[in-house]
Amino acid sequence: MKKVAIFGQAYKNTDRQYFELLIENLQKFQIEIYIEKEFTSILKSLGVENIDYPTFTKHEDLDNSIDVLFTLGGDGTILNAATIVKDLNIPILGINTGRLGFLATIQKKEIENTIQSLMAKEFTIQERAVLQIKSNSGNLDFDGINFGLNEITIARKNSTSMIGVEAYLNDEYLTTYWSDGLVVATPTGSTGYSLSCHGPIVMPESNNFVLTPIAPHNLSARPLVIPDNTIIKLKVIGREKEFFLSLDSRVSTVPFETELTLVKASFHINIIQMNQQTFINTLRDKLFWGEDKRNYT
């Protein structure tokens, strides 16, 4: 590890010591450091000193010479970092200064040991599938971003009325979901919004996507796990004129009758997993799996 980038969105003064600890441990190994420009401004406004490192702002500012992109925040910070990394194959490692953290799994107190483990190559890289989207009208407004690492979601807008989401899999009609919307999740996103809507948890390395309706009025409508090579086509119908479309945390308004096509992207996002951490451990830690007295007798 010779060159790294650091990305963050929000920053509490109480987290200052952890940022400084990260910098201190990187400097021990004489690692070249780049910091996202807006995050640098946030740090300076909070009084952090000695951060005159080279900066980056967008995808084009980075290249494959970056060994690791560190994020400081929660899972949402990693999702936004993914829009900068895109297809560069730069591995992302999340330091969790947020709350739950399925992606940002490094706790603040583990920073020093984590840097040492990275230098010793005690980690693996997980390739996380990405959902890509296009429309028949080409009117999607996401500032050039057309993919989601977690999920792509259709939701009703400014109305209590249900919407209908016509779904086709490989051009075969599946059903029309009469609901508040539909979540199409990757394995990474199966522990996000889809889970809140009673969707299944899918192991990260699974070659699947999940269709999870939001508050469906069809009693028979249930989450569906499909192969990730499926071409998904969706069209929204209803009383209103527009609906919300979200790609992870990015939201846009789209006219009804727009036909959306979702496919697995040709690239993936690399997430670093330290050797002492596994997805199963994360399930137990974050969702309290196994918190049953019978498991300890």
- CATH number of residue 161's parent domain: 2.60.200.30
Q: Which two tokens stand for residue 37?
A: 């420009």
- Is 75 a catalytic site residue? yes
Q: Percent of the chain beyond pLDDT 70?
A: 96
- Is 164 found in the same domain as 190? yes
- Is 103 found in the same domain as 147? no
Catalytic residue among 75, 87, 143, 180: 75
- Predicted local distance difference test score (pLDDT) of residue 293: 59
Q: Which two tokens stand for residue 17?
A: 């010591």
**142-156 per-position pLDDT tens digit:** 878 899 999 999 999
Amino acid in position 167: A
Q: How many CA atoms lie within 13 A of 183 on its CB side?
A: 30
- Is 145 found in the same domain as 69? no
Find out whether 154 and 245 touch, Cβ atoms under 8 Å: yes
Question: How many residues make up the chain in this entry?
Answer: 297
- Is 252 found in the same domain as 148? yes
Residue 93's CATH number: 3.40.50.10330
- State the total domains in the chain: 2
- Is 78 found in the same domain as 63? yes
Residue 170 has pLDDT above 80, yes or no: yes
**98-122 per-position pLDDT tens digit:** 776 789 889 888 999 999 999 999 9
- Predicted local distance difference test score (pLDDT) of residue 12: 78
Confidence of residue 275 (pLDDT cuts 50, 70, 90): confident
Q: Which range has the worst mean pLDDT, 38-47, 171-180, 204-213, 281-290?
A: 281-290
- Is 123 found in the same domain as 139? no
- Predicted local distance difference test score (pLDDT) of residue 159: 76
Domain that residue 204 falls in: 131-264
- Is 168 found in the same domain as 144? yes
> Which residues make Cβ contacts (< 8 Å) with residue 18, sequence separation at least 6?
72, 95, 97, 108, 111
Q: Which DSSP letter does residue 249 get? A: T
Q: Which DSSP letter does residue 142 get? A: S
How far is the C-alpha of 127 from the C-alpha of 272, rounded, in Å?
A: 9
- Is 60 found in the same domain as 28? yes
Which phi and psi angles does 128 have, rounded to 5°? -100, 125
- Is 154 found in the same domain as 96? no
- Is 237 found in the same domain as 280? no
- Is 196 found in the same domain as 98? no
Entry pTM? 0.92
- Is 244 found in the same domain as 221? yes
